[in-house]
Amino acid sequence: MNHPPSDNSTASELAFSRAAISLMKGVVYRETDDNTWQSLCNLAPRLREYVSHLGLELMLDEAEGCAYLRQRPSDAAYDELPRLVARRPLSYPVSLLLALLRRRLAEQDAKGGDTRLIVSRDDMVDLMRMFLPPTGNESRLVDKIDAHINKVIDLGFLRRLKNDDARFEVRRILKSFVDAQWLTDFDSKLAAYATQGTASPAGDPE
């Protein structure tokens, strides 16, 4: 005789499904969904095994409070699978802005205190201005930088503050995409980028 699943078993399966679906939809942040975050941490070994069959890796950063899926590194056993996580080639200006914001995060972390990094639109314009070719038209330059900022928002590395369209929070998941090792060569890389006019600082986010 088959017995119906217990309430605990059903709750556990629902928690697993909710965590897996949330990861498939995008980045999971502790600050925005604590219940799913706790389930994800508790079920991490099982989730890692599950997504590995899909050619994916679970990237879980408990210190920063974020988790996401990325495509497994090249592996003959999985290379023939369709990609679930699309590659996103980045333009030089978008790569540059990500790198500059990552350095600001490192500088703030070195000082200690508030872990949130808030930057204004004007801050980002000033950060990027010296590395972009002059246009002779300030308004056009700012419009272009606005477009790069919007792309970084779409990628999930910036979030507009409520009731303040001119200020943004830098999402700490950026640390996972532009790592500390890369920052040690930051100045020399920027010089190379300025010469090349094209770049992708830490590998294209996937």
Asked if residue 201 has pLDDT above 50, the reply is: no
> So what's the pLDDT on residue 33?
85
- Residue 132 identity: L
**Predicted pLDDT of residue 25:** 86
List the chain domain ranges.
7-71, 92-196
Q: Does domain 7-71 have CATH number 3.30.420?
A: no
Give 98-167 as a DSSP string: HHHHHHHHHHHHHH-S---EEEEHHHHHHHHHTTS---S-HHHHHHHHHHHHHHHHHHTSEEEETTEEEE
Domains 7-71 and 92-196 share a fold: yes
User: Alpha-carbon distance 173 to 170, whole Å?
Assistant: 9
Query: Which one of 39-53, 125-139, 153-167, 176-190 scores highest in mean pLDDT?
Result: 39-53
Which CATH code is given to the segment(s) 92-196? 1.10.10
The pLDDT tens digits for 187-196 are 666 666 556 5
By DSSP bridging, strand 28-29 and strand 117-120 are unpaired
Triad 38, 41, 46: Cα angle to 5°: 125
* Span 36-57, pLDDT tens digits: 999 999 999 999 999 988 888 9
Q: pLDDT tens digits for 71-122?
A: 877 665 556 666 666 566 778 888 889 888 988 988 888 887 777 899 999 9
